[in-house]
Structure 1
Amino acid sequence: MGNRFTHARSRKVTEEDYEVLEMGTPGLLTVLVMLFGYTKPAKSTPLQAVCDIRVLDNYIKEAKIAADSVKRCEENCALPGNFTLPRTSVSYREWAEKDLPTKAVEVQGGLKLLAAAVQKAQNLTVNGNVLYVVERSYSNIRSIMQMVKSFTPVILSVEQPPAQATFNSRTVRTIFHVYLNFLQGKVRLFFLDTEACNLATS
């Protein structure tokens, strides 16, 4: 009984193949057109990053991993010279009272300071493990900067100085501590801003 089933199935495949060969090129093209006509390609819809906080949260997770990986990095990770970093403290009440242009300039200004500091650290770091973390973080910061710029292109086209206070440091550990806190604070608040979200989707 098992042999009979196998034989019947094999004969069915052979007959179908024969019918396809008999159709020739025009018939085969017709079948392909029908198949592609009924199969609609899936459209890839990019995430609206400012409206989907999960996009930023992925960067925050990576920033936390980076900060943890250099937490015990002391003398070997000291850098020559100081680097200007943004202050990360934020008053939620004061932030809510600021208009969108002020928020956008403040966030972008802080990210520029972080990008400059991380890039300098990248050029001066000799520790292989730390270098990988630095390079990855620099790429992420640049991506976040582009996202913020795409949300508010007109606002950020005007050259304005950073609105937030700054301080100086020379350690990789401090740079990544500030990087994480800045993403969790001002950048995340900006991503959650309703006005910015409406501007991005309009």
Structure 2
Amino acid sequence: MFHGSGLFALLLMVLEWTCPGLSSPLRPICDLRVLDHFIKEAWDAEAAMRACKEDCSIATNVSVPLSRVDFDVWEAMNIVEQAQEVQSGLHVLNEAISSLQISNQTEVLQSHIDACIRNIANIRQVLRSLSIPEYVPLTSSEEDKEMQKVSSISELFQVHINFLRGKVRLLLANAPACQQGVS
């Protein structure tokens, strides 16, 4: 069962990262199967929301990051700019998904919301392991051009999946820490 072993692996990562007695830094997590696990959980959440109608509505539209990738633009960006775009998008997704916790949700929906929030935190931990720069807030004009609005929880989770499959995967696959052993 990956979920239990995934939590154990995450605990080991956190302990390795925070334990002051260790002389070595956190080892890079370059295996894209870790990301595939988060994508699968996001996919499961989105599938559950498609079946949910009235209990899964959003009172107001929420902002989410653009998930489509213009490869010419992406390739022209340096790693810091790519990291900023991914970190900013993860921040916005976390805010949007966290806003769902305010309303009275079903137990199933709440478990998917909690899982998505944990997964975003775990993805941020993976990015830290790769020495990807942390999130730095953008100005509102910069942020607005990179956003779209969604009107349902299903749409929100679909953007979440696409963001992970697109920009996050591209960043992880090309992270300098994962390229060091490649000749």
The aligned amino acid for 2:147 is T
Deviation of the 1:143 alpha carbon: 1.4
Q: Which of 160, 164, 167 is residue 148 of structure 2 equivalent to?
A: 167
Deviation of the 1:148 alpha carbon: 1.9
Q: CA 1:105–1:157 in structure 2 vs 1: closer, same or farther (change >3 Å)?
A: closer
Q: Which of 140, 152, 159 is residue 178 of structure 1 equivalent to?
A: 159
Moved over 6 A (4+): none
- SS of 2:50's equivalent? coil
Give 1:195's aligned residue: 176
What is the CA–CA distance in structure 2 between the aligned matches of 1:184 and 1:86, rounded to whole Å? 13
Q: CA 1:125–1:107 in structure 2 vs 1: closer, same or farther (change >3 Å)?
A: farther
Specify which structure has the bigger relative contact order, considering alpha-carbon pairs within 8 angstroms and separated by 6 or more residues. 2
Give the unaligned 5+ runs of structure 1.
Answer: 1-45
- SS of 1:82's equivalent? strand
Cα-to-partner distance string for 1:72-127 (whole Å, 9 max, x where unaligned): 22332112222110111102232122100110000000000110111111221421
Give 2:9's aligned residue: none
Give 2:78's aligned residue: 99
Q: Percent identity?
A: 30
- SS of 1:79's equivalent? strand
Q: CA 1:104–1:75 in structure 2 vs 1: closer, same or farther (change >3 Å)?
A: same
Q: CA 1:158–1:73 in structure 2 vs 1: closer, same or farther (change >3 Å)?
A: closer
Q: CA 1:136–1:125 in structure 2 vs 1: closer, same or farther (change >3 Å)?
A: farther
- Compare CA radii of gyration and give the structure with the larger one: 1
Instruction: Give the structure-1-normalised TM-score.
Output: 0.67
The aligned amino acid for 1:156 is E
Give the unaligned 5+ runs of structure 2.
Answer: 1-25
The aligned amino acid for 1:97 is A
Q: Is 142-151 or 93-102 further displaced after alignment?
A: 142-151
Give 1:17's aligned residue: none
Deviation of the 1:176 alpha carbon: 0.5
Give 1:110's aligned residue: 89
